Structure 1
Amino acid sequence: MAKPKVISVANQKGGVGKSTTVYNLGACLALDGKKVLMLDTDPQGDLTKMLGQRKPHDLPLTLANVMSDVVSGKEPTGHPEIMHHHEGFDFVPGNRSLSAVEVSLVNVMSRETVLRQYVDSVKRDYDYVLLDCRPSLGMLVINALSASDYVLIPVQADYLAAEDMTELVGTVRSIQRQINPRLKIGGVFLTMANETNFRKDIVATVKSNFGKHLPVMDAVIPATVRLAEVSTADKSIFQHEPRGRAAEAYRSLTKEVLKIGEKQRSRTSDLSR
Structure 2
Amino acid sequence: MSENPALFEAEPVEELGPTGRPWPDLPEPRGPKEGPRRAVVIAMTNQKGGVGKTTTTINLGAALVETGRRVLIVDFDPQGSASVGLGVNPHTLDASIYNLLLGRDLNPADVVIDSGVEGLDLLPANIDLSAAEVQLVSEVAREQTLRRVLKPLRSAYDVILIDCAPSLGLLTVNALTASDQVVIPLECEFFALRGVALLTDTIAKVTDRLNPDLEILGIVGTMYDGRTLHSREVLERVVEAFGDTVFHTVIKRTVKFPETTVAGEPITSYAPSSPGADAYRMLAREVLARCPDA
TM over 0.5: yes
CA 42–78 in structure 1, closer or farther in 2 if over 3 Å, else same: closer
Q: Residues 75-86 of structure 1: matches in 2 within 5 Å? A: 76-77=106-107, 79-86=109-116
Verify: 1:17 aligned to 2:48, yes or no: no
Percent identity, please.
Answer: 37
Equivalent positions of 1:1-273 (< 5 A) are 1-54=36-89, 56-69=90-103, 74=104, 76-77=106-107, 79-88=109-118, 89-198=120-229, 199-211=231-243, 215-262=245-292
Gaps of 5+ in 1: 264-273
From the superposition, tell whether residues 101 and 262 of structure 1 become closer, same or farther in structure 2 (CA, over 3 Å).
same
User: Which residue identity is paired with 2:236?
Assistant: A
Q: CA deviation at 1:102?
A: 1.3
1:99-134 alpha-carbon deviations (Å, 9 max, x no partner)? 111110111110001001111121111000010001
Q: Which amino acid aligns with 1:168?
A: L
Partner of 1:79: helix, strand, or coil?
helix
Relative to 1, partners in 2 of residues 1:115 and 1:160: Cα closer, same or farther, differing over 3 Å? Answer: same
SS of the aligned residue for 2:109 comes to coil
1:238-268 deviation line (CA, Å, top 9, x unaligned): 12211211111111111111122259xxxxx
2:25 maps to: none
Structure 1 counterpart SS, 2:179 = coil
Letter in 1 for 2:55: T
- C-alpha distance in structure 1 between counterparts of 2:105 and 2:257, whole Å: 40
Alpha-carbon deviation of 1:79?
2.2
* RMSD between aligned residues: 1.5
For residues 191 and 255 of structure 1, what CA distance do their matches in structure 2 show? 17
- Kept in 1: contact 2:97–2:129 (CA 8 A): yes
| TM-aligned CA distance change 1:78 to 1:98, over 3 Å | closer
Over 3 Å counting, the alpha-carbon distance change for 1:171 and 1:237 in structure 2 is: same
Off by >3 Å, runs of 4+ in structure 1: 75-78
Correspondence for 2:3: none
Structure 2 residue identity aligned to 1:234: G
5+ residue gaps, structure 2, are: 1-35
Q: Distance in 2 between matches of 1:125 and 1:80?
A: 13
Between the aligned partners of 2:228 and 2:194, the Cα distance in structure 1 is 16
Distance 2:258 2:227 in 1: 18
TM-score computed with the length of structure 2 as normaliser: 0.84
Find the aligned partners of 1:114 and 1:19 in 2 and give their Cα distance.
22
Q: Which amino acid aligns with 1:44?
A: Q
